[in-house]
Chains A and B, each alone.
Chain A
Amino acid sequence: SQQGEEDPQALSIQEGENATMNCSYKTSINNLQWYRQNSGRGLVHLILIRSNEREKHSGRLRVTLDTSKKSSSLLITASRAADTASYFCATDAPGNQFYFGTGTSLTVIP
């Protein structure tokens, strides 16, 4: 079974707006990562945040992690049409298993 759940399931915004998606998970983790997937094929790693970190930035991406609430958020600022994709959070549990959430489908309208 999958550990994480993303919210919302689908998000549609205008180009230039910010997009925020959330991830909740169930058990303790070492790290949480966000991935992007285009057209249902290979996933691309975006950013990793460790369990002892609370916030991390990479370009237009900002990730937060709240281990007390077992949740994370991904913010994409100044969105572009090319950001249209599905976004997944993934948590690594002890034993190096990776659990992916159900994903947020983001549509950025030009």
Chain B
Amino acid sequence: GAGVSQTPSNKVTEKGKYVELRCDPISGHTALYWYRQSLGQGPEFLIYFQGTGAADDSGLPNDRFFAVRPEGSVSTLKIQRTERGDSAVYLCASSLGTTQFFGPGTRLTVL
């Protein structure tokens, strides 16, 4: 089927607002990852789900960031009280084994 999809592709918001970023993984992939990538940098690990549970959320920068995957498929990354420093491309990846398959990312701009 289709690859990993992410919506929206671009999101512009104002400082202090709340945003939700969505990831639709490849069907059947049990593992789902979120990364953040700033310009000129490599992807930075945020959180990893195995099924519905967050197996590792040690990469979340602070408590303004939260992610859910209630049914073990679609995941939503939620950012509260956005700050200009949150501007980046947010990447989602899913996997069944070792290789991760990435979505196109959501470019978040906080004004």
Judged by DSSP, the binding face of A is: strand
For this complex, into which size category does the number of interface residues on chain B fall? 20 to 34
User: With A2-B44, A97-B59 known to touch, is A45 a contact of B99 (CB < 8 Å)?
Assistant: yes
Q: How far is the CA of A4 from the CA of B100 in the complex (A)?
A: 17
Q: Can you pick out 28 interface pairs between chain A and chain B where the beta carbons lie within 8 Å of each other?
A: A30-B98, A33-B99, A40-B39, A40-B89, A42-B4, A42-B91, A42-B102, A42-B103, A42-B105, A43-B91, A43-B93, A43-B102, A45-B99, A48-B98, A88-B43, A90-B100, A92-B98, A96-B56, A97-B45, A98-B35, A98-B45, A99-B45, A100-B35, A100-B42, A100-B44, A101-B42, A102-B40, A103-B42
Contact A44 B102 (CB under 8 A): yes
Within 8 A of B (CB), among A62-95: 88, 90, 92, 95
| B109 contacts partner chain A, Cβ-Cβ < 8 Å | no
Q: Smallest Cβ distance from A63 to chain B, in angstroms? A: 14
Contact A48 B99 (CB under 8 A): yes
Q: What residues on B are CB-neighbors of A88 within 8 Å?
A: 42-43
Q: Residues of B with Cβ closer than 8 Å to A?
A: 4, 31, 33, 35, 37, 39-45, 48, 50, 55-56, 58-59, 89, 91, 93, 98-105
Additional 14 contacts, C-beta under 8 A, given A45-B100, A97-B59, A98-B33 = A2-B44, A30-B98, A40-B39, A41-B89, A42-B104, A43-B102, A44-B102, A90-B100, A97-B56, A98-B100, A99-B45, A100-B43, A100-B44, A103-B41
Q: What residues on B are CB-neighbors of A45 within 8 Å?
A: 99-101
Q: How far is the CA of A100 from the CA of B41 in the complex (A)?
A: 9
Q: What residues on A are CB-neighbors of B41 within 8 Å?
A: 2, 102-103
Q: What residues on B are CB-neighbors of A99 within 8 Å?
A: 45
| A31 contacts partner chain B, Cβ-Cβ < 8 Å | yes
Q: Smallest Cβ distance from A97 to chain B, in angstroms? A: 5
Q: What residues on A are CB-neighbors of B31 within 8 Å?
A: 96
- A5: nearest residue on chain B (CB-CB)? B42
